[in-house]
Amino acid sequence: MIIGDFLKALRQLSDPRFRRVMVLGVLLSLALLVAVYAGFLVLIQTFIPDSIAIPFVGPVEGLDTLLSWGSALLMIGLSVFLMMPVASAFTGLFLEDVAQAVEDRHYPALPPAPRIPLGDALVDAANFFALLIAVNALALILYAFAGPFIPVVFWAVNGLLLGREYFTLVAMRRLGRERAKALRKQHWGKVWLAGTLMAAPLSVPLVNLLIPVLGAATFTHLFHRLNRGV
């Protein structure tokens, strides 16, 4: 059923409003990656000399340029980890717009949902970001013992957090904070599974740029389905 929710979200890419938020989400993700990339280049140019003397070979020129090109590949690799905080930032900026676009198309009989004040949404997103960093820092202990299952542990930990946040924020629009939390706790297994299925493609470079929008839409369908008892 969660796969069906995702396929519904995927089919809505033809919706102009949905595509607009998709573009904004991709630009947000790219902006973060470019900012980190630029900072990395500054560090290279500051601390790495342009040439280095190698015994029996002599000076090797253009070392910082070579490392700069290599850093581009490193940034693509780092996006595996950077997209988790990007997804957390997305909740405060775009999730409500995605949910509204989904409801307008698939649930038109619903009354208008009151918008969560921007300040409250940003505070929630900041709190979630801090929780995401703290939990992943603690999870480093688990990674030390996970061996080849490190990716699975990484997806499960972040899936738990992403599912919790995305589902709660989508449900809050219709039920309020307390009832949203109660519904999430009632279906915690499905919410965790949906979050894990979102976390896994967030680890795939380039593909992960699209996932925050598709994830928000998927959780909107998941909420309405669970709220109806389906």
| Residue 2: predicted pLDDT | 86
pLDDT value of residue 44: 59
pLDDT of residue 106: 92
Percentage with pLDDT > 70 across the chain:
74
Half-sphere exposure for 138 (CA within 13 Å, toward CB): 7
In this prediction, residue 95 carries a pLDDT of 83
The candidate with the shortest Cα–Cα distance to 208, out of 217, 220, 200, 216, is 200
Per-residue CA distances from 78 to 73, 74, 84, 131, 148 (Å): 9, 6, 11, 20, 19
Q: What is the predicted pLDDT for the residue at 80?
A: 65
Contact 216, 6 (CB under 8 A): no
With beta carbons less than 8 A apart as the criterion, state whether 171 and 180 touch: yes
What's residue 103's pLDDT?
93
What pLDDT, on the 0 to 100 scale, is given for residue 113? 85
pLDDT of the residue at 181? 92
Profile the chain (230 residues) by mean pLDDT over runs of 10 residues: 89 84 77 69 60 40 48 61 70 81 91 78 76 79 81 89 91 91 94 93 81 90 89
Please check whether residue 151 is in contact with residue 180, taking contact to mean a CB–CB distance below 8 angstroms. no
| pLDDT tens per residue across span 35-70 | 766 666 666 566 655 544 334 333 434 444 544 555
- What's the number of domains the chain is made of? 1
- Would you state the pLDDT for residue 151? 86
What's the domain range around 171? Answer: 2-227
**What is the DSSP track for 171-185?**
HHHHH-HHHHHHHHH
Other CB atoms within a 10 A radius of the CB of residue 38 amount to 11
Q: What is the pTM of this model?
A: 0.78
Backbone angles phi and psi of 225, in degrees to 5: -70, -45
The pLDDT value given to residue 149: 86
Confidence at residue 19, expressed as pLDDT on a 0 to 100 scale: 82
pLDDT reported for residue 60 = 39
